Structure 1
Amino acid sequence: MDKLEELRASIEHTWPYIDETGMGSGVCAPERFARNLGAVVIIALHKNRIIGAACGEPLMHEAASLGDPLIRNGEAIEDFFYFAQLLLDDAYRGMDLEEKLFEAIEHHAREIGFARVNFCADYAMDSTLERTGPKKTKEDRAIETLWRTRNYRPLMGARFSPQADPDQDMQIWVKDLNIDQQREQKGRRKAVAG
C-alpha cells in the first residue's frame, strides 16, 4: 500500500487525469477496493518494484457526483465500470504499458459483465470541447490520443465539478466494450473470407 502511494506521489500526471480533483488520494488503495464487489487493483512490476497500477470498480460504488452526470444524460450507472486511476512511473511511459493497463481494466470489466467503461478527465484536456483551461502540453495530447485510440469518447453533456474542488471542470469519457468485440469479429470474418 505504501509503495502505491509512493508511486502516486512521484507521478506528475495520472492517466486518466484525476489527480487534482481531490478524488485521487488513495484511489488505488487495496483496502478500499477490498470492500467493493467487482473492484480491482492491477499492479505492474519490474524487478519486484511497483512501476504502475490501474484500478477500477462498478460505478455504483463511487461517489454520487460521478454518477449524476450520467443519470442526467439518461444513462443507468449500473451499466458502467469506473476506471478510477492509472499510474505509471515516468521512466516506463511510452513502452505500451499504458495500453496493457487499459486492456487489463477493460478485460476485468468485461469478465464481470460490464459492457461500458468510463473515467473522468480534466475538461480542458479534451481538444474537441471548448477550451477552458491552460494550453495543452505535448503529453496531454498524447494521453488524449491514447484514450481515443482505445475508443473512449467524451460523453456530451456529462460534465461536473467534484465536491472537493468546485472550480475543477471534469468531463466523463466512455467506451462501449462491445466495439472491441465487433472489430475482432470483423477481423476474423475478413481472415476467413480472405
Structure 2
Amino acid sequence: MEKKNRQENMPVDLVTLTGKEIERSIAPLADLRVRVFREWPYLYDGSASYEKTYLARYANAPGAVVVGAFAGERLVGAATGQPLAGEVEDFRMPFERAGLDPAGIYYFAESVLDSGWRGRGIGHAFFDAREAHARALGFDTAAFCAVIRPTNHPLRPAGYTPLDPFWRKRGYAPANGLTVGFDWPDLGEAAASRKQLQVWMRSGLSVG
C-alpha cells in the first residue's frame, strides 16, 4: 500500500520528442509496448527486440513524434504519431483505396500507459500533445486504429469498458467501412495472424 501511495503522489512529466530525440525512448517504449499490449483487447505476444526495430523508424521519419510520460526517469507511458504518408503500407493503403489522400492525414499509432498510472488524465494529455504537433505541421485531420474483437471472445475481461466514449468525446468517430489489416501473434498463437482494426478519424484539428 505504501508503494502504491508513493506512486499516486509522484508527478508525471509529459515530454514531446522529435527527430533524434526519439532514440532515447525506443528501448523503454519497446518494453512498455510488449507489456501493455499483452492486455485485452490486443493480446499481443510480442518481443522487445522486434519492437525496438519497429520503433526505430520514428527517429528518422519526418514529422514523427513520441510523447513520453515520465515518472522521474522512468517511462510509464507514451503515445506516438507520424504523417500517414510515411506509415507502413498495411496502414496507408486502405486509406488510399478509400479515396483518402494520406498526405492530408496525421496518423496516431500506439498509446500505451502502465496500469498503475491510468485514471490521471494522461490519455487526454497524449491526444492534446499529438493534436498540437499535427496542427503545427499543418494537418487538419487525424486518424488512429482500434483492434476489432468479438464481444464473445473467451479472453474478454468481465466488465470490460471500451474506450469508444473517450474517443468520441475527443471528437473522433469510426470511418464507415474503413478498416486496416495487420499481423501479430496473439497470446497462445504459434504464429502471427491477421487482425482487423477499425479506423477512427477527426477533422477540424485547426480549431483546437
Q: Same fold (TM over 0.5)?
A: yes
Percent identity, aligned pairs only?
Answer: 29
- TM-score relative to the length of structure 2: 0.70
Partners of 2:81 and 2:67 in 1: how far apart? 9
- Structure 1, unaligned runs of 5 or more: 125-130, 185-194
TM-score (norm 1): 0.75
Aligned counterparts, 1:107-146, within 5 A: 107-124=132-149, 134=153, 137=157, 138-141=159-162, 143-146=163-166
Contact in 2 for aligned 1:14/1:88 (Cα 8 Å): no
Q: Give the equivalent residue in structure 1 for 2:201.
A: 174
Relative distance call for 1:77 and 1:107 in structure 2 (3 A) is same
What is the aligned partner in structure 2 of residue 161 from structure 1? 181
The aligned length equals 171
| CA–CA distance in structure 2, aligned partners of residues 62 and 55 of structure 1 | 12
C-alpha distance in structure 1 between counterparts of 2:53 and 2:146, whole Å: 15
Q: Which 5+ residue runs of structure 2 have no aligned equivalent?
A: 1-25, 185-191
Mapping for residues 3-152 of structure 1, pairs under 5 Å:
3-12=28-37, 20=44, 25-26=51-52, 29=55, 31-124=56-149, 134=153, 137=157, 138-141=159-162, 143-152=163-172
- Return the alpha-carbon distance in structure 2 between the equivalents of residues 21 and 153 of structure 1: 28
Give the residue type in structure 1 aligned to 2:96. I
User: Which one-letter code corresponds to 2:195 in the other structure?
Assistant: Q
Say whether the 8 Å CA contact 1:123–1:132 is kept in structure 2. Answer: no
SS of equivalent to 2:60: coil
The structure carrying a bigger strand percent of its residues is 2
Instruction: Give 4+ residue runs of structure 1 displaced > 6 Å after superposition.
Output: none
Q: Secondary structure at the match of 2:171?
A: coil
CA RMSD of aligned residues (A): 2.9
